[in-house]
Structure 1
Amino acid sequence: MRVFVTGASGWIGSAVTAELLAEGHEVVGLARSDASAAAIAEAGASTVRGGLDELDVLRTSADKSDAVIHLGFNHDFGDMAGAWRTERAAVQTFVDTLEGSERPLLLASGVAGLTPGRVATERDASTQVGPESMRGGAEHLALSYADRGVRSVGLRFAPTVHGQGDHGFVAVLAGIARTTGVSGYVGDGANRWPAVHRLDAARLVRLALERAPAGSVVHAVGEEGVAARDIAEAIGQGLGVATAAIEEAQAAEHFGWIGRFFALDTPASSTITRELLGWAPTRPGLLDDLAAGYYTS
């Protein structure tokens, strides 16, 4: 297939691009900057210049492709409402363009916070509905077109997509521990974070492109939930600093913006995904990557 990929030069998107190319698909990646365009070209894919707010570019690129994989997102923490509006408009453009064609639209979302305190499954519907909700309610919007000729698939990623070179949540936690001299966890640290290796996630996206039916949701989750205390202890050991409990009232002061996320108990299952797609994660787990020093050396 000729696949239009947003976020093709990003942490997950670059792995997805490589996976698709290795399996014989053609990739056209959206590139906002010269650096992104160069990275996509170096991977062996074609590029189209533009951003997620350039709807004519998105429309034309989707129309010329056999499938769309939407992994890009404007991570503007200073204007999240604006980022959500951009996401909503981009996904609306994709579904309008693909409507009636039966072509695939795969789009990224997440499992974090989906069902706090219990294991989330693919059968749990997103609670984010409507343009004013998180990410503009994009997953709900896309899936609503499954009976309108769009093979829409929700790609729900674990909050930690790990591997060598990751600069996400765990890298932020390691940076805080390095700065403060304490690798902390909130409360008793029993709350759980799902995780998945970047290359396992990329393979899942490719399998979903090839096999997932319209209206389905898949979970890119390799580990159902790694205890926050275990993560903190691994970071502390890697950095040679103390591991300590941080009271919930002090979490914001110690961790900053990531504190409320790190305190979530948000386990998630991928059993349905594995059965649907024959996907079996084979790469190292999060604690293995921490032990390898990818976040602390």
Structure 2
Amino acid sequence: MRAFVTGATGWIGSAVVDELLTSGHEVTGLARSDRSEQALTAKGAGVLRGDLDDLDSLRRGAARADAVIHLANKHDWGNPAESDRSERAAVQILGDALAGTGRPFVVAAPLSGLVEGRPATEDDVSPAVGPDSNRGGSENLALDHVAQGVRTVITRFAPSVHGRGDWGFVDFLTAVARKQGVSGYIADGSASWAAVHRDDAARLVRLGMEQAPAGSRLHVVAEESVTTRAIAEAIGDALGLPVVSIDPQDAGAHFGFVGRFFASTMTASSDLTRELLAWEPTGPGLLADIAAGAYTA
């Protein structure tokens, strides 16, 4: 297939591009800078210059492709409304460009906010609907395009997509531990996260593009639940720092923006995903990755 990938040089996207190329697919990546263009060209991928606000480029990329994989997001923590707006606009234009083609439209989504009190499953419907909801309601908007002849596939990512070189939440937590001189967890550290190794995530995205039926919700999850205390202890061991509990009232000051995520439980099952696509994660677990120096080398 000829795949058009947004976020193609990001942490997850760069691994997805590698996975697609290795599997014999052609890739065109959206690039907003010379550096991104050079990275894609060096891999043998094509390049379309533009960004999430360049809707004409998004439309052209989708129209020329056999499949679209939408992984980009502004992740503007200081202005989440802007991130939500741009995400909804991008999903709308990409989905509209694919209408009536039956082509796959793989859309990244978070696990946060789906359910409370239990691990989320693939059958759980996202409560985010409409432009004023989380991520602009992009998951449900993308699924609305199924009725328009688009093979929409939602990929819900674990909060930790880990591995050497990760610049996500665990990297932020490691930087906070270095700065504060302690590795902290919030309250009793019983809040838990799902996790997946980046290579396993990339393979699942490819399988979803190739095989998943329209309307599928895939959970990109290898480990259903890792407690935040265990994460803090692994970081502390790797850095040689004491491990301490942080009072919830002090979490914002101690951790910064990542504190609100570290206080949240975001767990999920991937049983239905594994059964549907015969996907079996093979990468190391999150704690093993931390212990091996993935965040401290």
State the TM bucket, normalised to the shorter chain. Answer: over 0.9
> What is aligned with 1:283?
283
8 Å CA contact 1:252–1:260 kept in 2: the answer is yes
> What is aligned with 1:25?
25
> What is aligned with 1:60?
60
Secondary structure at 2:76 match in 1: coil
C-alpha distance in 2 between matches for 1:233 and 1:266: 19
Under a length normalisation based on structure 1, what TM-score does the superposition of the two structures give? 0.98
C-alpha distance in 2 between matches for 1:113 and 1:255: 21
Q: Deviations over 1:145-184 (max 9, x none)?
A: 1122000011100010000101110011011111111111
8 Å CA contact 2:77–2:257 kept in 1: the answer is no
Q: Deviations over 1:175-201 (max 9, x none)?
A: 111111111101111111100000000
Shift of 1:96: 1.0
The answer to which of 108-117 and 232-241 deviates more is: 108-117
Shift of 1:252: 1.2
> What is aligned with 2:236?
236
Structure 2 counterparts to residues 32-181 of structure 1, below 5 A: 32-181=32-181
8 Å CA contact 1:116–1:264 kept in 2: the answer is no
> What is aligned with 1:249?
249
Shift of 1:256: 1.3
C-alpha distance in 2 between matches for 1:260 and 1:79: 15
Shift of 1:110: 1.1
Secondary structure at 1:179 match in 2: helix
Moved over 3 A (4+): none
Secondary structure at 2:274 match in 1: helix
Any unmatched runs of 5+ in structure 2?
Answer: none
Shift of 1:75: 2.0
C-alpha distance in 1 between matches for 2:173 and 2:117: 22
Shift of 1:78: 2.5
**One-letter code of the match for 2:87?**
E
Shift of 1:250: 1.4
C-alpha distance in 2 between matches for 1:134 and 1:224: 23
Secondary structure at 1:145 match in 2: helix
8 Å CA contact 1:118–1:266 kept in 2: the answer is no
Shift of 1:76: 1.9
Aligned length in residues: 297
C-alpha distance in 2 between matches for 1:174 and 1:89: 34
**One-letter code of the match for 1:16?**
V
Any unmatched runs of 5+ in structure 1?
Answer: none
C-alpha distance in 1 between matches for 2:272 and 2:103: 23
C-alpha distance in 1 between matches for 2:228 and 2:178: 17
**Same amino acid, percent of matched pairs:** 58
8 Å CA contact 1:162–1:196 kept in 2: the answer is yes
> What is aligned with 2:194?
194
Q: Deviations over 1:36-85 (max 9, x none)?
A: 11111111100010111111111111111101000011122222211211
C-alpha distance in 1 between matches for 2:113 and 2:248: 17
8 Å CA contact 1:70–1:108 kept in 2: the answer is yes
**One-letter code of the match for 2:229?**
R
Shift of 1:121: 0.5
8 Å CA contact 1:117–1:267 kept in 2: the answer is no
Shift of 1:134: 1.4
> What is aligned with 2:265?
265
**One-letter code of the match for 1:48?**
L
